């Protein structure tokens, strides 16, 4: 017979390593399961008011009832032990007196009848039955008689282990003492209350001991503890059920109100709560319904007003198109022949042409705003290289920048910056931002920066003009708002450009933010997701420019301070450790 022995290939895992990997996998599974359970319990604790109230009630009632149960059980045990001590002490006193009378008949410990008298006395004090082993044990010893008197117990059991040396010494010194010891007398282990008393005689001092079993007292105390625990447990469960019921009565209307409020916020304005009874909860439901009715009435009224306003704006804009076209044709003819007119008439023709351009731009912006208000604006996103868009905007505004003496500086990357955007809307936003920067640049350079990361693209437009006062970074996007309406303006904007730009940014799911400081210029940042529909979390470019002034004189350690929009849109002042760090948008 041939036996073939195969060995595992080199590098194959051993049995121990396989078991180790299995144990690690099991441990990871258990820890993951425990973490999931803990997370679920934490979520349930945070979400459910009823769970928190019931849990707190159960814990508090358990502690309270447990404390009372412990005190009651301890008091019952103490009373039982005191009663047993009183009874044993009384029997010990009577037995000591009886034994003293019997033993005082003898003047010497060596007398022949003394031991018989001791035996009879012990049997009498034990109840007269020397064969019983579960009741009281009586013992008489004569340690101070030079062992002339032999120890005697009734019944005849070994009591030495139950009578401690301290108790024996205290009784031998003439004191009445006691202790509780546990030992085996007969065939079972029992707790005994051991009392000892000296018995004076003419031939010396004897010691009388009573050993009383505490089995009945222990059983009674155990029954009392079990009764108290059962009663306490039932009381805690009853309190928990009561708390759950009461909490449910309160929480249910609140949950109904929350669900109704959610439906109202979703646009279901006809939702109402059921009113049952005349209590506080019914008053809450009635007040909630009244509030919902008033809100519905106000919302419907505002919607109707808004609809009428949008319709009015749209109708007026469209109706003005026809006379504007006629006026435009006449103005173009006059403007073309202005060289043959008097200088005053020629200047009037130029002013007419400029104001018609502004009027046409205003009508275009009003129509665009009406489309945003009506919710008809659509995003036509496509992969677009933003570098040519920035260059195109710069070229179109180069003439304006030259007239006002502003230099436009570009900081764009060499490779293409591709993003899924609507190029028409993005170009309009950049045209508004750059146009405003040139107009308010006070003849100083305007810098345009383009940046990109894995999830977003951003464009910043920085000017060094009059800047913005604290709080104005939120107002610049309001319709028809101007920081300085009395200041002479070169381009004659409509006051709707930034409002339309903000709507365009929101339509892309992006941000349009502003920073400014008085006398230090302003910077606007447009941030758009690189992929249409993605959610923005950070911007590739920081909102606060690197040359931003240090407020209040700046920190002594030379660190940088950033002033930008906080979580609520207000100015937030705080340290910035890295000047190139991109900020998290609100």
Task: Look at residues 245, 246, 147, 138 and name the one whose alpha carbon lies nearest to residue 195.
Answer: 138
Average pLDDT of the chain, as a whole number: 78
| Six token digits for residue 56 | 């707190």
3-7, 264-268, 307-311: range with highest mean pLDDT:
264-268
Task: Look at residues 362, 496, 497, 491 and name the one whose alpha carbon lies nearest to residue 439.
Answer: 491
Residue 10 has phi, psi (to 5 degrees) of -60, 140
Task: Look at residues 193, 170, 195, 171 and name the one whose alpha carbon lies nearest to residue 181.
Answer: 193
CA dist., res. 287 & res. 162, Å (int): 78
CA dist., res. 22 & res. 489, Å (int): 77
| Six token digits for residue 243 | 């708390």
The average pLDDT across 276-281 equals: 76
Instruction: Please give the class, per CATH, of domain 25-268.
Output: alpha beta
Query: Per residue in 12-44, pLDDT tens?
Result: 556 778 888 888 888 888 888 888 888 877 777
Q: What percent of the chain has pLDDT over 90?
A: 10
| Six token digits for residue 443 | 């003849």
Domain definitions of the chain by residue range: 25-268, 280-355, 379-576
Pairing of strands 446-452, 408-411: parallel
* Res. 67 pLDDT band, cuts 50 70 90: confident
Q: Which residues contact 68 (CB under 8 A, 6 or more apart)?
A: 232
Strands (E), 353-493: 382-385, 408-411, 418-421, 446-452, 456-463
CA dist., res. 560 & res. 181, Å (int): 79
Tell whether the model's pLDDT for residue 578 goes beyond 80: no
Radius of gyration of the chain (CA): 50
* Res. 387 pLDDT band, cuts 50 70 90: very high
The correct answer on CATH 3.30.565.10 for the domain covering 379-576 is yes
Q: What percent of the chain has pLDDT over 70?
A: 85
DSSP code string of 213-228: E-HHHHHHHHHHHHHH
| Six token digits for residue 438 | 């040139």
Query: Per residue in 395-418, pLDDT tens?
Result: 988 888 888 889 999 999 888 999
The average pLDDT across 40-54 equals: 78
Query: Per residue in 325-348, pLDDT tens?
Result: 888 888 888 888 888 888 888 888
Task: Estimate to the nearest angstrom the gap between the alpha carbon of 445 and the chain centroid.
Answer: 49
* Res. 540 pLDDT band, cuts 50 70 90: very high
Whole-structure pTM value: 0.46
Tell whether the model's pLDDT for residue 585 goes beyond 70: no
Query: Per residue in 100-155, pLDDT tens?
Result: 888 888 777 777 787 778 888 888 887 765 555 447 777 787 766 666 677 777 77
């Amino acid at each position: 017979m041939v036996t073939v022995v195969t060995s595992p290939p080199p590098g194959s895992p051993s049995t121990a390593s396989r078991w180790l990997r299995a144990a690690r996998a099991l441990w990871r599974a258990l820890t993951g399961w425990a973490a999931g359970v803990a997370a679920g319990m934490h979520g349930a604790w945070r979400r459910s008011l009823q769970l928190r109230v019931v849990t707190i009630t159960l814990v508090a009632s358990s502690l309270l009832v447990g404390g009372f149960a412990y005190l009651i059980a301890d008091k019952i045990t103490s009373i039982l032990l005191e009663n047993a001590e009183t009874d044993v002490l009384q029997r010990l006193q009577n037995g000591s007196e009886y034994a003293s009378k019997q033993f005082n008949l003898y003047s010497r410990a060596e007398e022949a009848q003394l031991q018989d008298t001791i035996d009879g006395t012990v049997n009498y004090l034990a109840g007269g039955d020397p064969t019983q082993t579960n009741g009281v044990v009586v013992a008489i010893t004569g340690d101070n008689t030079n062992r002339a008197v032999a120890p005697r117990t009734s019944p005849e059991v070994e009591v030495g282990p139950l009578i401690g040396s301290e108790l024996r010494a205290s009784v031998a010194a003439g004191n009445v003492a006691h202790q509780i010891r546990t030992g085996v007398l007969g065939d079972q282990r029992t707790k005994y209350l051991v009392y000892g008393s000296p018995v004076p005689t003419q031939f010396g001092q004897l010691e009388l001991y009573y050993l009383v079993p505490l089995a009945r007292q222990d059983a009674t105390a155990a029954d009392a503890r079990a009764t108290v625990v059962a009663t306490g447990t039932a009381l805690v469960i009853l309190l928990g059920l009561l708390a759950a019921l009461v909490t449910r009565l309160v929480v249910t209307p609140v949950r109904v109100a929350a669900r109704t409020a959610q439906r109202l916020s979703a646009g279901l304005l006809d939702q109402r709560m059921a009113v049952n009874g005349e209590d506080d909860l019914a008053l809450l439901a009635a007040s909630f319904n009244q509030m919902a009715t008033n809100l519905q009435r106000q919302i419907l009224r505002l919607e109707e007003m808004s609809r009428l306003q949008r319709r009015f704006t749209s109708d007026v804009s469209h109706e003005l198109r026809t006379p504007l076209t006629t006026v435009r044709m006449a103005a173009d003819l006059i403007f073309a022949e202005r060289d043959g007119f008097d200088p005053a008439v020629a200047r009037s023709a130029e002013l007419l042409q400029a104001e018609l351009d502004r009027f046409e731009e205003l009508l275009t912006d009003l129509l665009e705003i009406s489309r945003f208000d009506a919710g008809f604006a659509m995003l036509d996103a496509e992969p677009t290289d933003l570098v040519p868009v920035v260059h195109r905007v710069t070229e179109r505004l180069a003439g304006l920048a030259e007239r006002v003496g502003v230099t436009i500086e570009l900081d764009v990357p060499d490779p293409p910056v591709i993003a899924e955007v609507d190029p028409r809307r993005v170009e309009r936003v950049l045209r508004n931002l750059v146009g405003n920067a040139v107009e308010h640049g006070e003849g100083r350079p305007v810098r345009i920066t383009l940046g990109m990361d894995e999830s977003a693209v951003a464009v910043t437009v920085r000017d060094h003009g009059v800047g913005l006062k604290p709080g104005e970074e939120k107002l610049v996007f309001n319709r028809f708002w101007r920081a300085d309406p009395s200041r002479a303006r070169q381009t004659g904007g409509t006051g709707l450009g930034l409002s339309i730009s903000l709507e365009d940014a929101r339509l892309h799911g992006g941000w349009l933010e502003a920073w400014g400081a008085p006398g230090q210029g302003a910077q606007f940042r447009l941030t758009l997701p690189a992929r249409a529909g993605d959610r923005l979390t950070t911007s590739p470019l920081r909102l606060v420019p690197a040359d931003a002034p240090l407020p209040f004189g700046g920190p002594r350690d030379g660190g940088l301070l950033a002033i930008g929009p906080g979580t609520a849109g207000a100015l937030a002042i705080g340290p910035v450790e890295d000047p190139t760090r991109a900020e998290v948008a609100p």
